[in-house]
Amino acid sequence: MTGSVTIVGLGPGDAAKVTPEVTAAIDRATDIVGYIPYVARIAPRDGLTLHASDNRVELDRATHALEMAAAGRQVVVVSSGDPGVFAMASAVFEALEARPDFLHLPVSVLPGITAMLAAAAAAGAPLGHDFCAINLSDNLKPFALVERRLRLAAQADFAMAFYNPRSSSRPHQFARVLEILREECEPGRLIIFARAVSTPDQQLRCVTLSDATDDMADMRTVVLVGNSATRRIGPHVYTPRSA
Amino acid sequence: MTGSVTIVGLGPGDAAKVTPEVTAAIDRATDIVGYIPYVARIAPRDGLTLHASDNRVELDRATHALEMAAAGRQVVVVSSGDPGVFAMASAVFEALEARPDFLHLPVSVLPGITAMLAAAAAAGAPLGHDFCAINLSDNLKPFALVERRLRLAAQADFAMAFYNPRSSSRPHQFARVLEILREECEPGRLIIFARAVSTPDQQLRCVTLSDATDDMADMRTVVLVGNSATRRIGPHVYTPRSA
């Protein structure tokens, strides 16, 4: 049997947000590859091998998935959220670019509910008009590029979603992000800190830019910044369609 | 029984991309409200009333949903894709802002697979790094704002997704969008025209900016523009994690 690699999105945490096509792909798999906490979401069964690996070894993990597929296995690579948004899909294609001998393998991507859209839904509709998504981590790109994108996004009056806002290895950069936003945006700009969305640990907090502090974000937080028209109405935060 | 409004995303078309929580909300509904082709995706059953309405009456539709909820109905407002991305969620909150007497009603949003992420998955991972989403329609905002956001997004080297790129009522604006991209980006920039993604009519076409023409987009198309590092490898298009 010909092997394959299917890169799937498990959504933000809640099983009710996993699409049926992703569930079906997992049911057909012989091997699951992914970061430890995401592989932990897959129920063990006979005939299924779970390959959990640590963070920051995405390329090794992707190459391993391709190697197993070349050996005839039905490999599913799991990401949280959507695999095409700051997750494993790009890593698999990077690995494939380095190993053109694997280009004959069927490689497909199944989308999932990405964290920013789950967080936006939980808050109302803060990404209801033009918006951007920025990965604040500088593991793989210079922080100067993050700064440049932030300023231009603010000048374009995009609503914004930030992934990986803060980690223990770079505790100070998110404070710098807030500084840049304060230079570019008005003090009343709304910011939502959405932690562990759709899990039992979910926390949602909406503050103005002037009240935001960097310790409101951690590794499990996605941060949403409204555009200049984003407003609160009762418990909801939304961006009008005309802005 | 207290009424409610639940705004749900049906995903881009394929039933296997509808999340279980959205299916469950539809199963509990007494009334479904939405644009004709989206309501047509809901199976009729006893006890369920379908309220299909035409395009461009989003606020009326949203107010009708709130009124029925106030009368004790379990109303589900359906959008294609994700309701928080250029869809019904913001319209419902706009209607709610105009009718604060309805603020006591439970209003919730359930995310769905939005067109750009389904299109990106079908193509590979073109939105695999920082990106933005822009609604090209000027029904509700001046086209000058679209132009400004386009230029700043290109200068920020975001990958981009365009919703509503072209319609019969504004056939010429997408040609102008391509002109602006040609002023800001290199001729080899990759552009994906993704039509009717995940339906039997799906068409995916990847061309360079120099080969793109405005008639490649229509109302059912979402357009993805790579950033300066986006590349093809075999049949896949992806953006590296480092760009």
- Judged by a CB distance cut-off of 8 A, whether residue A50 touches chain B is no
Which positions ≥6 away from B89 have C-beta within 8 Å? A121, A124, A125, A128, A238, B7, B79, B83, B109
**From edge to edge, which strands make up the β-sheet containing A124-125?**
A124-125, A236-238, A231-233
Q: Is the pLDDT of residue A243 over 90?
A: no
Chain B CB within 8 Å of residue A35 CB: no
Q: How far apart are CA A106 and CA B237, in angstroms?
A: 14
**Closest to B84 (Cβ–Cβ): which among A120, A132, A133?**
A120
Q: What is the distance in angstroms between the Cα of A218 and the nearest Cα belonging to chain B? A: 20
Spatial distance between the Cα atoms of A143 and A138, rounded to a whole number of angstroms: 5
End-to-end, the C-alpha distance of chain B in Å comes to 53
CA distances from A160 to A128, A189, B49 (A): 11, 12, 37
Q: What secondary structure letter does DSSP report for A115?
A: H
pLDDT of residue B243: 78
| Residue A140: pLDDT band with limits 50, 70, 90 | confident
Q: How confident is the model at residue B166 (pLDDT cuts 50, 70, 90)?
A: confident
Given this model, what pLDDT does residue A233 score?
A: 97
SS3 for B90-155 is: HHHHHHHHHCHHHCCCCEEEECCCCHHHHHHHHHEECCCCCEEEEECCCCCCCHHHHHHHHHHHHH
Residue B15 per-residue DSSP state: G
A21 neighbourhood in chain B, CB within 8 Å: 14, 16-17
- Pair A164, A193: CB distance under 8 Å: no
Q: Does A57 touch chain B (CB under 8 A)?
A: no
Model confidence at A55, pLDDT cuts 50, 70, 90, reads confident
Q: Is the pLDDT of residue A1 over 80?
A: no
DSSP codes, B54-84: -TT-HHHHHHHHHHHHHTT-EEEEEESB-TT
ipTM surpassing 0.95, yes or no? yes
User: Distance (Å, rounded) from C-alpha B48 to C-alpha B110?
Assistant: 19
Alpha-carbon distance of A10 to A7, in angstroms, equals 10
Confidence of residue B164 (pLDDT cuts 50, 70, 90): very high
pLDDT confidence tier of residue A153, bands split at 50, 70 and 90? very high
User: Residue B16: which of A20, A231, A233 has the nearest Cβ?
Assistant: A20
CB-based contact A84 B120, cutoff 8 Å = yes
Beta-carbon-side half-sphere exposure of residue A224 (alpha carbons within 13 Å):
31
Could you tell me which of B98, B80, B115, B67 has the C-alpha nearest to residue B7?
B80
Provide the residue type at A194 as one letter: A
pLDDT grade, residue A91 (50/70/90)? very high
- B59 to chain A: closest CA residue: A241
Average pLDDT over residues B117-142: 95
Which among B127, B133, B138, B174 has a CA at the least distance from the CA of B153? B133
What pLDDT does residue B140 have?
84
Cβ neighbour number for residue A183 with a 10 Å cutoff: 10
Three-state secondary structure call for residue B14:
coil
Task: Share the mean pLDDT of chain B.
Answer: 96
- Which pLDDT score is estimated for A72? 98
Domains of chain B as residue ranges with CATH: 4-113 (3.40.1010.10), 116-238 (3.30.950.10)
pLDDT at position B242 is 86
The whole-angstrom separation of Cα B148 and Cα B130 is: 19
pLDDT at A240: 96
Closest by Cα among B86, B92, B75, B198 to B133: B86
Are A77 and A65 in contact by the 8 Å Cβ rule? The answer is yes
**How buried is residue A198: exposed, middle or buried, by Cβ count under 10 Å (0-12/13-18/19+)?**
buried
Q: Please state, in angstroms and rounded to a whole number, the distance separating the CA atoms of residues B78 and B75.
A: 10
Within 8 A of A117 by CB-CB distance, chain B residues are 82, 84-85, 111, 114
Q: So what's the pLDDT on residue A50? A: 98
Residue A139's pLDDT is 83
What sign does the dihedral A25-A29-A34-A40 (CA atoms) show?
Answer: positive
pLDDT in the model for residue B170: 78
Residues on chain A touching B100 (C-beta within 8 angstroms): 233-234
DSSP labels for A40-95?
Answer: TTSPP-TT-EEEEE-TT-HHHHHHHHHHHHHTT-EEEEEESB-TTSSSHHHHHHHH
**Burial class of residue A55 (count of CB atoms within 10 Å of its CB; 0-12, 13-18, 19+):** exposed
Dmax (CA) of chain A? 60
Across the interface, of A89, A149, A152, the residue whose CB is closest to B125 is A89
